[in-house]
């Protein structure tokens, strides 16, 4: 462990994060303060800003209206959009006139190769940093740019392309909760009425006046829990194409079992852009075979974008094995990767001390009571996420808190892999929306408690959660970063309580809060 304010805070086998690679951000990062400075298709930029504003929480800010808020791109959005949207052309058209005939032929061959070869991007940034729009801005811009290019050839070609019964891009995530979240994000952005008149280059004017471009006009679909694969083929027959499909690897590998569709994977031959969100999970042992087999069914893929909030050592090994030439990876990583935001206050609670006397659940009950009475979040229902290490602990802990510590049934729920996927959405609802006013809560709750495992520690946007409790230490630093990342999102404040006892007590835990304040990376 580095005790002198160095680069990495780590401890033995618990340390599973990879911190050796230098940060790959260009010098223009600090000069960009507006989305208009980034290469984003005009209508996508407008929808993006509208969506970000629609989710902005004005509570505890000086703003009275969202119109007063200036939305600025985050570091990962700047870096990722600059890298992924960079032109594939080798040279500008102006330089072609200076070439000899032989040089021009050679250039055209090289340019054709560059335009058609697959590019692999890795985007790594801390939780709550805006990664979803970092990749959506790229994928949606390229889809609209492709549409525009068809339109420039002829409107007839554009219409024929729209009826091609092909999937154009795929976003793969590890859980059905994340399928729902990304899909809802896309649907929301796709619903905004666009002006298409702010800073729009002249060449796009006629295209953007088409009726379908009064919104983003994208065909978006999800294959989630309970969605039969045949649903995809029915939608293709009805709408002609799907611009963005959001699903899990397992849903697509399940196509191989379809008997009612001839050559079911042929609908993916036009996929040009694929995102692996939570890529470190999609490349772990439980997902790797499905993930790689799915991507192999995209023969014309141009961009493969791997997105993650952490780079575990095992994930880096997998990348090295799959892509032995490191130069084939275009890496983006923010300086704050593997750092816990300073806005999160860490408190360690020792369950061995009086009055807990070795009972972590008694310590938990006291922490919940103290949070409910501490005067923060006035007039709002307080939400608390409690993480445990094993799914077998969830139900028992929920029942214990209800029976022994008199927590009302409507104030606490548990979600683990044992809970039916269809039931999780209802349980999660109070935690993925802004805090309710006390007077508006149908259950008349003063506090809502979610007990869960690492199943829900990745990617999910818990909106405005102020309190996270870890009932014991997670098994690795990877999960520590993800659990703590459920609070303090987008520079908001948060608190994390780590409950330890003689079985889980580690001397280094007491130094975690200090390491966070000093901006040290977790190892």
Stretch among 54-63, 275-284, 502-511 having the lowest mean pLDDT: 54-63
Beta strands 166-167; 241-242: pairing state = parallel
pLDDT higher at 63 or 401: 401
Flag whether 349 is in a domain. yes
pLDDT value at position 4?
43
Share of the chain above pLDDT 70, in %: 92
Residues 507, 375 share a domain: yes
Residue 423 lies in a domain: yes
Do 144 and 161 meet the contact criterion of CB atoms below 8 Å apart? no
CA-to-CA dists, residue 122 to 25, 54, 442, angstroms = 12, 28, 43
pLDDT of residue 56: 75
pLDDT at 1: 44
- On whether residue 287 sits in a domain, the answer given is yes
Look at residue 501 and tell me whether its pLDDT is greater than 80.
yes
State the DSSP H helix or E strand holding residue 46, giving kind and residue range, or none if neither: helix 42-54
Residue 400 exposed, middle or buried by CB count within 10 Å (0-12, 13-18, 19+):
middle
Question: What is the model's pLDDT at position 142?
Answer: 97
Q: Over range 271-282, report the average pLDDT.
A: 96
Res 260: pLDDT? 64
Q: What is the pLDDT of residue 94?
A: 60
Rounded distance between C-alpha atoms, residue 273 and residue 269, angstroms: 11
Tokens of 70: 């200036």
* Number of C-beta neighbours around residue 220 at 10 A: 19
In a domain, 250, yes or no: yes
Is the pLDDT score of 6 beyond 60?
A: no
User: What's 13's DSSP letter?
Assistant: G
Domain boundary among 314, 333, 352: 333
476 found inside a domain: yes
Asked if residue 434 is part of any domain, the answer here is: yes
Pairwise pLDDT comparison (218 vs 112), residue with the higher score: 218
The residue with tokens 């829900």 is 456
Span 340-391, pLDDT tens digits: 888 899 999 999 999 999 999 999 999 999 999 999 999 999 999 999 999 9
Instruction: Verify that 322 and 407 share a domain, yes or no.
Output: no
pLDDT at 365: 96
What is the pLDDT, as a whole number, of residue 46? 95
Q: Collect all residues with Cβ–Cβ distance below 8 Å to 224 and sequence separation of at least 6.
A: 176, 179, 180, 183, 246, 247, 248, 251
* Largest Cα span, the chain: 86
What is the rounded distance in angstroms from the CA atom of residue 507 to the CA atom of residue 275?
40
Q: Which of 15-24, 253-262, 296-305 has the highest mean predicted lDDT (pLDDT)? A: 296-305
What are the CA-CA distances from residue 223 to residues 250, 268, 413 (Å)? 10, 14, 26
Same domain for 322 and 400, yes or no, is: no
Torsion angles phi and psi, residue 198, rounded to 5:
-105, 110
Q: What is the pLDDT of residues 446-486, one digit of tens each?
A: 999 999 999 889 888 888 899 999 998 898 999 999 999 99
Q: What is the CATH number of the domain that holds 30?
A: 3.40.50.300
Q: Say if residue 293 is in the same domain as residue 184.
A: yes
Is residue 178 classed exposed, middle or buried when 0-12, 13-18 and 19+ CB atoms within 10 A define those classes?
Answer: buried
Whole-angstrom Cα Rg for the chain? 25
> What's the pLDDT band for 229 if we cut at 50, 70, 90?
confident
DSSP 17: B
Domain boundaries, position 71: 20-86+118-333
Residues 329 and 459 in one domain: no
Higher pLDDT, 362 or 516: 362
Q: How many domains does the chain have?
A: 2
Domain-terminating residue out of 293, 310, 333: 333
Q: What is the pLDDT of residue 61?
A: 65
Mean pLDDT, the chain, integer: 88
42 plus 181 within the same structural domain? yes
Last residue of a domain, one of 301, 333, 365: 333
At residue 24 the predicted structure's pLDDT band, cuts being 50, 70 and 90, is: low
Lowest mean pLDDT among 86-95, 278-287, 330-339, 375-384: 86-95
Residues 38 and 70 in one domain: yes
> pLDDT confidence of 27, banded at 50, 70, 90?
low
- Are residue 135 and residue 234 in the same domain, yes or no? yes
Query: Is the model's pLDDT at 2 over the cut of 60?
Result: no
More confident residue, 405 or 59: 405
Q: Which residue has the higher pLDDT, 328 or 275?
A: 275
Q: Are residues 511 and 373 in the same domain?
A: yes
Cα–Cα distance, 308 to 279 (Å, whole number): 5
Would 381 be classed as within a structural domain? Answer: yes
Q: Is the pLDDT of residue 259 over 80?
A: no
129 in a structural domain: yes
CB atoms within 10 A of CB 322: 13
Give me the mean pLDDT over the 175-195 stretch. Answer: 95
One domain, residues 235 and 215: yes
Q: How confident is the model at residue 95 (pLDDT cuts 50, 70, 90)?
A: low
Q: Is the pLDDT of residue 514 over 80?
A: yes
Q: pLDDT of 421-444, one tens digit each?
A: 777 888 899 998 888 999 999 899
Percent of the chain scored above 90 by pLDDT?
58
Select the more confidently predicted residue: 204 or 263. Answer: 204
- 355 with 248, same domain? no
Distances (CA, A) of 197 to 36, 211, 461: 13, 15, 32
Query: What does the CA dihedral 299, 303, 304, 305 come to, rounded to 10 degrees?
Result: -160
Residues 324 and 467 occupy one common structural domain: no
């Amino acid at each position: 462990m580095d005790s002198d304010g160095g680069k990495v805070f780590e401890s033995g086998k618990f340390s599973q994060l990879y911190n050796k690679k230098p940060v790959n951000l260009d010098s223009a990062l600090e000069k960009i303060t507006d989305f208009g400075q980034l290469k984003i298709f005009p209508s996508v930029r407008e929808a993006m800003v509208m969506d970000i504003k629609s989710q902005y929480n004005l509570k505890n800010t000086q703003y009275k209206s969202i119109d007063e808020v200036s939305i600025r791109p985050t570091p990962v959005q700047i870096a990722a959009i600059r890298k992924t949207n960079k032109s594939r052309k080798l040279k500008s058209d102006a330089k072609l006139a200076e070439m000899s005939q032989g040089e021009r032929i050679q250039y055209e061959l090289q340019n054709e190769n560059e335009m058609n070869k697959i590019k692999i991007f890795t985007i790594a940034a801390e939780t709550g940093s805006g990664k979803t729009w970092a990749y959506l801005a790229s994928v949606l811009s390229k889809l609209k740019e492709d549409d525009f290019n068809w339109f420039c050839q002829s409107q007839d070609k554009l219409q024929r392309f729209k009826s091609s019964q092909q999937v154009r891009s795929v976003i793969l995530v590890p859980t059905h909760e994340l399928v729902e979240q990304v899909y809802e994000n896309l649907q929301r952005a796709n619903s905004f009425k666009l002006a298409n008149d702010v800073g729009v280059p002249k060449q796009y004017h006629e295209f953007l006046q088409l009726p379908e471009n009064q919104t983003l006009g994208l065909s978006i679909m999800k294959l989630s829990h309970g969605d039969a694969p045949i649903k995809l083929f029915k939608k293709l027959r009805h709408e002609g194409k799907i611009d963005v499909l959001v699903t899990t690897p397992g849903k697509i590998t399940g196509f191989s079992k379809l008997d009612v569709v001839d050559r079911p994977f042929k609908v993916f031959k036009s996929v040009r852009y694929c995102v692996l969100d939570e890529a470190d999970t999609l490349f772990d042992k439980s997902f790797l075979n499905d993930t790689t087999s799915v991507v192999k069914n995209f023969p014309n893929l141009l961009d493969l974008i791997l997105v993650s909030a952490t780079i575990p050592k095992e994930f880096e090994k997998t990348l090295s094995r799959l892509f032995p030439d490191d130069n084939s990876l275009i890496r983006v990583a923010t300086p704050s990767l593997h750092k816990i935001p300073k806005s999160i206050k860490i408190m360690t609670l020792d369950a061995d001390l009086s009055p807990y006397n070795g009972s972590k659940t008694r310590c938990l009950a006291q922490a919940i009571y103290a949070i409910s009475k501490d005067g923060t979040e006035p007039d709002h229902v307080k939400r608390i996420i409690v993480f445990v290490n094993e799914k077998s602990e969830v139900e028992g802990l929920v029942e214990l808190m209800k029976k022994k510590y008199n927590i009302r049934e409507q104030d606490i729920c548990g979600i683990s892999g044992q809970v039916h996927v269809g039931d999780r959405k209802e349980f999660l609802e109070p935690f993925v929306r802004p805090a309710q006013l006390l007077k508006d809560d149908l259950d008349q709750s003063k506090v809502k408690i979610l007990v869960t495992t690492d199943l829900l520690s990745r990617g999910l946007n818990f909106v405005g959660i102020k309190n996270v409790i870890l009932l014991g230490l997670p098994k690795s630093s990877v999960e520590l970063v993800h659990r703590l990342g459920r609070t303090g999102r987008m520079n908001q404040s948060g608190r994390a309580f780590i409950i330890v006892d003689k079985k889980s007590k580690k001397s280094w835990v007491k130094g975690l809060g200090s390491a966070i304040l000093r901006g040290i990376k977790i190892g």
